[in-house]
Amino acid sequence: MKKTTIEYRVPYADTDQMGVVYYGNYLTFFERARNELMRACGYTYRECEADGVMLPVVHAEVDYKRPAKYDDLLEITAWAEPPKGVRLEIACEVRRKGDPEILVKGFTRHCFVSTETFRPVPPPERFLSVFG
């Protein structure tokens, strides 16, 4: 099971007046890591869409343990379980670079759907050969 870690520097834009990263922005962090996970596996999400299949999120959960702050250099790690039918789960963890403590973790559940009909479809062959 492939794991990918990206680095991400927190801009002011991501913070709120509590002086920490706004809770909703971690879902974008998760997306950034998912994108690079797929690229690292040799099948980008852009290619997946070009093959007629999208992966909208149907469920998300996030645990906020410690806050990330402005200018932190974060490491965001993502990995996928093999898809079950038309469903796929991708887990994510956020840390400060060089610090093993998990700040935030969570996962997203996705459904393979056709870009034309928006209806569930099996994963593309190429996806299975990479993630299956």
CB–CB of 88/62 below 8 Å? no
CB 62 → its own copies: shortest distance, Å? 5
CA proximity to 27, closest of 75, 61, 67, 66: 61
Is residue 50 near its own copies by the rule CB under 8 A? no
Is residue 35 near its own copies by the rule CB under 8 A? yes
| Residue 16 annotated among the catalytic residues of the structure | yes
Is residue 18 near its own copies by the rule CB under 8 A? yes
Binds its own copies by CB under 8 A, chosen from 3, 23, 42, 85: 23
Q: Which of 16, 51, 63, 71 is catalytic?
A: 16
CB 34 → its own copies: shortest distance, Å? 9
Q: How many CA atoms lie within 13 A of 75 on its CB side?
A: 12
Q: Which residue has the tokens 């190429």?
A: 126
Binds its own copies by CB under 8 A, chosen from 5, 40, 41, 60: 60
Binds its own copies by CB under 8 A, chosen from 58, 119, 122, 129: 58
Amino acid sitting at position 48: C
Listed in sequence order, the residues at least 6 apart from 33 whose beta carbon sits closer than 8 Å to its beta carbon are: 4, 5, 6, 76, 77, 78, 92
Beta strand 53-54 with 87-96 is: unpaired
Catalog residues that contact its own copies under the rule CB under 8 A.
9, 11-13, 15-20, 22-25, 27-28, 31-32, 35-36, 44-46, 54, 56-65, 67, 69-71, 108
